[in-house]
Amino acid sequence: MSESGARLDPVHNDSAHDDSAHDDSAHDDSAHHDSGGLNPGARVILFVHAHPDDETVGTGATLAHYAARSDAHVTVVTCTLGEEGEVRVPQLAQLAADQADQLGGYRYWEYRQATAALGVTDTHFLGGVGRWRDSGMMGLPTNDHPRAFWGADVDTAAADLVSIMRERRPEVLVTYDPNGFYGHPDHIQAHRVAMSGAELAADPAWRPELGAAHEIRKIYWTTLPRSVLADQFDAFAGATDNPFEGVESVEDLPFGAPDEEVDALIAGGPDAAERKRAAMRAYPTQVAPGDWLDVLGEQLGPQSLAEEHYRLVKGERGTADGPNGWESDLLS
């Protein structure tokens, strides 16, 4: 996200660079990058996601919203390249894992375009680009790939995240719930690694060589209120690209939370909605014209794209000045 006030170097920090060389072109795509460009006054929010496009679909408006704030800094960590994802554009179908197996590299390029559209400049791939592979859906043979993120040792993966946490020193962490929002193994593993990382980062006795211990003040899990889910369920009824196809009732869905269990709503406004739409369009392998994104905007209005909900699982609730007594600022 647009780090207002150029709080970081205006490049995606997927890399660690050698400060002695002062060569911004020499990126090695390792786990992280030095924090010399971070404004000391900025309040950091760290997002941990599983695959390229998850940052946009689930939290894109929130990313854009905080990127536009001069007092905030956004860091995004993505755990895999999404190699096992489907390809929604026929002319790119041969990139798929069971054909050329080039989808991960293509999605990396999409990710760079999408995060730029959101204004994100501080992005990282856990352990470096390509360290962990997309595990595919639960129960598939791809879960057993030697580099599948699902099979990663949690402490090993968390160590790379701890390094980022201790360097960036976020006030707030955003990730998935224990079910990974909808049960994908990489989302579940991202939750485990993020929560473990937060605990280990705060322990001064654990791997002190990774930096000074740091405790994250607030932790949120992404969620979707049942009331909003019901509106979306109705909006997609009869649509050609219906993500709820075959589901008889909203109560049958494996995700969503009662409204009373939701703690925060970030309503990003028109600019955030437009940035999120642009970021989604940067993923041609994942979002086809006329798909759910267009249906949602047409049926529920463009503002629906800018509204994202969260559960607070660590820390004290801030000012409850949003609808239903929800927080309107994760940093409050």
pLDDT at 144: 97
The H or E element containing residue 193 is helix 185-201
Sign (positive/negative) of CA torsion 109, 86, 220, 207? negative
Give the percent of the chain with pLDDT over 90. 70
Mean pLDDT of 137-165: 98
The yes-or-no verdict on residue 63 having pLDDT over 90 is yes
Please count the other Cβ atoms lying within 10 Å of the Cβ belonging to residue 260. Answer: 10
The yes-or-no verdict on residue 132 having pLDDT over 60 is yes
What would the pLDDT profile of 74-99 be if each residue is shown by its tens digit? Answer: 999 999 999 999 998 899 999 999 99
Rounded Cα distance between 127 and 125, Å, is 6
- On whether 54 is known to bind a ligand per the annotation, the reply is yes
11-22: b or e for each residue (b if 16 or more CB lie within 10 Å)? bbbbbbbeeeee
Most confident of 12-26, 84-98, 209-223: 209-223
**Angle 59-44-185 from CA coordinates, rounded to 5°:** 45
**Domains recognised in the chain with CATH numbers:** 43-221+259-287+301-325 (3.40.50.10320)
- Which residues have a Cβ under 8 Å from the Cβ of 330 and sit 6 or more positions away? 45, 62, 66, 172, 174, 218, 220, 264, 266, 310, 318
Rounded Cα distance between 233 and 72, Å, is 34
What would the pLDDT profile of 305-326 be if each residue is shown by its tens digit? Answer: 899 999 999 999 998 988 899 9
- On whether 187 is known to bind a ligand per the annotation, the reply is yes
pLDDT at 61: 96
Q: Which two tokens stand for residue 207?
A: 């791997």
Q: Are 42 and 73 in contact (CB under 8 A)?
A: yes
Angle between helical axes of 269-281 and 54-67 (0-180°, round to 10):
140
Mean pLDDT of 53-60: 96
Most confident of 9-13, 250-254, 273-277: 273-277
The yes-or-no verdict on residue 8 having pLDDT over 60 is no
**Higher pLDDT, residue 166 or 14:** 166
Mean pLDDT of 13-35: 37
168: helix, coil or strand? helix
pLDDT at 14: 46
What would the pLDDT profile of 259-302 be if each residue is shown by its tens digit? Answer: 999 999 999 999 999 999 999 999 999 987 777 777 777 778 87
- On whether 124 is known to bind a ligand per the annotation, the reply is no
Mean pLDDT of 143-168: 98
The yes-or-no verdict on residue 32 having pLDDT over 70 is no
pLDDT at 304: 87
Give 18's pLDDT tier (boundaries 50, 70, 90): very low
**Angle 247-288-144 from CA coordinates, rounded to 5°:** 65
